[in-house]
Structure 1
């Protein structure tokens, strides 16, 4: 069963000791999940202001620079894990939440191969 652990954050990244510690801990946990065979993929994302929205309008591609929404929290990264059951996925999401010091969203994928 594949699950996506969505990590949220805001644009308050400062490179502080706490920020760097969280990155080191997430990287270490990524290594643990890879070693256990449970990690399918994991990436951090650029700040929302560096993103773009791409739409097709009347057959023409229209690209708009970010930021996009009024939401305080934006998607900051993810872990895609392949685990035996929902309980294990919740354990992983809980550990990621503890590392980042905030909530994470856990969603099962559909139509996975």
Structure 2
């Protein structure tokens, strides 16, 4: 079963890993930050070893995005970001796992203070 893990964040300034630039994450103790990083690295290694990790990519600053919309009978390109929102789409991972439960287990390791992780099945 394929899923995409969508990372929503608002680092200030924009950078990756996004957690390094999110105030809620920066407020954690060094031990708490190290524990979260170890959880993430562990699940990444596990998925890589199991063939579950199909790919992923961090995204650039939403201020550099361009939107293409249909307006007044033609395509129009405007500057991003897509929406005025607290969180922006920061990156994604594509995984192929045996069950929704496994996908949720993995997605939990991606969640951290000040960020939202969205888990969505890939349409078949």
Q: Same fold (TM over 0.5)?
A: yes
Matches within 5 A, 1:2-81: 2-13=2-13, 19=20, 29-57=43-71, 58=73, 60-81=74-95
CA RMSD of aligned residues (A): 2.7
The answer as to 2:91 corresponding to 1:90 is no
Query: Which stretch has the larger CA shift, 64-73 or 29-38?
Result: 29-38
Q: Which runs of 5+ in 1 are unaligned?
A: none
The answer as to 2:116 corresponding to 1:106 is no
Aligned length: 105
Instruction: Report if the CA contact (8 A) 2:67-2:80 is conserved.
Output: yes
TM-score for both structures, normalised by structure 2: 0.70
- What does residue 27 of structure 2 align with? none
Q: Can you list the C-alpha shifts for 1:60-101, whole angstroms capped at 9, x where unaligned?
A: 44211113322110110111100000010001100011xx43
Q: Which runs of 5+ in 2 are unaligned?
A: 22-32
TM-score for both structures, normalised by structure 1: 0.75
How many angstroms apart in 2 are the aligned matches of 1:47 and 1:85? Answer: 33
